[in-house]
Amino acid sequence: RLREEMQARSPVPVRIPPPSLCTDNAAMIGAVGGHRLALGQRSPLAEDIFSTNDWARV
């Protein structure tokens, strides 16, 4: 429903790929990590990391 609402309200075409095409974002994560590293930003190794994706549906 949210997708349809976004498409209906947007003045420009909205293209939303299926979830199966949205699971591999390693390049984006690596690029952001590189930028943050260059800025001296670090996260503790004990940082909790979890996925919000329901992998059974993909």
Answer yes or no: is 7 within a domain: yes
The pLDDT assigned to 58 comes to 65
Structural domain span for residue 29: 2-38
Q: Looking at the domain assignment, is residue 56 inside a domain?
A: no
Is 17 inside a domain boundary?
Answer: yes
Calculate the CA dihedral of residues 45, 47, 51, 52 and round it to 10 degrees: -160
Backbone torsion region of residue 54, taken as left when φ is above 0, otherwise alpha when ψ lies between -120 and 50, otherwise beta: beta
Q: How many domains does the chain have?
A: 1
pTM confidence score: 0.41
Q: What is the pLDDT of residues 7-54, one digit of tens each?
A: 999 999 998 888 777 777 788 888 899 999 999 998 888 888 777 777
